[in-house]
Amino acid sequence: MYNLQIVTQSPFDADLCWQAVLSRDRSEDGHFFLGVLTTGIFCRPSCPARRPKRENVRFYPSPEAARRDGLRPCKRCRPEAGADPRATRIEELCAHIRAEAGSGEPLTLEALAERAGMSPSHFQRTFREVVGVTPRQFVEACRLEALKQGLKAGESVTDAIYDAGFGSASRVYERTDTRLGMTPGAYRAGGKGVAISWAATDTPLGRMMIAATDRGLCFVQFGESDQALLERLRAEYPAATLEPSPEPRPAAFEGWMAALRSHLEGLEPLPELPLDVRASAFQLMVWRYLQSIPRGEVRSYSEVAQAIGRPKAARAVARACATNRAALVVPCHRVIRGDGDLGGYRWGLERKQRLLAAERGGGGRRAVR
């Protein structure tokens, strides 16, 4: 008979632990263990056995803590066996990249592969499998994050660029169109001087407003009225110059609006549209991954966190989804909770439910009704 006096003090969030169990999140293996009181065993979060009822589960920081309460290890998932050494090695290397992104240390594929003890080809394949992006993309995201922190701290543009580990200013400006959202100078000034055109249209999900700079879409949102949407646009870009798109609209702008309307009406899949958004490197990493989720599929917040190499950042992933400014273009509606609940959606859960139902039920030819 095992002891039912389970420890109640825990260094982790029980709700997040339960979400990891429901989604069988492998990235949490080793971070905590679940004990099942009705069977007297303890398991990994990713154990493939049938999920127990929540009221019969307790969480432990170590196998020793579970054993002290009279529980025995599961023979199916073997919770006391070592973690995947590849994932552990890559996670350690990600921490090294974040720490050294602005130090000037060479972070080439060859240098990183040597540090990981792998051939470059094997390292690149393993890194992408574990993290979800290439080593180069991860390094650049970390350097862009360092650049933004420097700009916010008041450094000159030139100093911030070199302190972030970029070898030249031209390399940064080549990437700002799709990753920084605007040039470093404009970002530091809060978007001052950036011209944004907007227009609103009716869709099956209600009134939709899109807004764009000369580089791409910076705002795609739903609302109850044009005035409410315009106020939201001003709140998002308080230092920018906002003007309604002139008639006739520029061909590119009209094409983006037509593509979004056609997508919502179920006539065409949404093509890749250019984005010009203000965001942190972490937000951009999350949004880029969301764009890779196939139509009709969903991921949990924990699964997204694991895929981008931040397995403990499920809450930060949820915040990145909540701050998405470009509905549909960045399909944050495809992210749900680990227990299958829809979670949040800044434009209303009814819209999220209708979008998912249309994507799951009609391929590319079902309208959102």
Q: Just list the catalytic residues.
A: 43, 332
The answer to whether 220 and 210 are in contact (CB under 8 A) is yes
Side-chain-side CA neighbours of 169 within 13 Å: the count stands at 8
Peptide bond into 248 cis (omega under 30): yes
The vertex-174 CA angle with 172 and 179, nearest 5°, equals 75
Sequence-distant (≥ 6) Cβ neighbours of residue 35 within 8 angstroms = 6, 41, 42, 57, 58, 59, 60, 66, 69, 71
Side-chain-side CA neighbours of 85 within 13 Å: the count stands at 3
User: CA-CA distance, 250 to 245, in Å (whole number)?
Assistant: 8
For residue 141, give the nearest of 276, 304, 308 by alpha carbon.
Answer: 308
Centre a 10 Å sphere on the Cβ of residue 27 and count the other Cβ atoms it contains.
24
